[in-house]
Amino acid sequence: MKKIIIVWTLIILFCPGAWAQRQDAIDFSATDMDGDNIQLSEYKGQVVILDFWATWCKPCVQEIPTLEYLYKNYRDDDFAIISISLDQNMDKAREFVSARNMDWIHILNKEKNVELARIYGVRAIPDMFVIDKQGKIAARGYRGEALKKIIKDLLK
């Protein structure tokens, strides 16, 4: 019995999405950095990462190479990244995204982004939600190699 408790404790601690029941992703509409309307439900049939982040967040910035890798390798395979900045200064966020050639979708609207973070229950960043092709939240909180594996598996 003690081994079972230890195993479940390890799953809870090291697999953030292990307890997550596959819930429908909450649909939203927002304007991206280029002025285009983004509706999450339009991405049904694709694997989507919702990335809540900020330029001042060191772990968020450290995760950019992972997102760049995923975007570069899977952007033509029913895959999208939607980054939602929680920066206070949207001009600074826009400059940061442009300077780093982060070519995926970015929502840079302070009021809308705070609302989206609240809707999704974001309490700390980075916070990434992986949404499967059926529009369900498949994982949350993964980064780095674990995130790459989840995306690869969902795109099979």
Per-residue pLDDT of the chain (156 residues; tens, 9 = 90+): 555 444 444 444 444 444 445 799 999 999 999 999 999 999 999 999 999 999 999 999 999 999 999 999 999 999 999 999 999 998 999 999 999 999 999 998 888 888 999 999 999 999 999 999 999 999 999 999 999 999 999 999
- Tokens encoding 25: 């992703």
Residue 19, class by beta-carbon neighbours within 10 Å (0-12 exposed, 13-18 middle, 19+ buried)?
exposed
**Domain 20-154 indexed as CATH 3.40.30.10:** yes
pLDDT of residue 2: 53
pLDDT of residue 83: 98
pLDDT of residue 17: 46
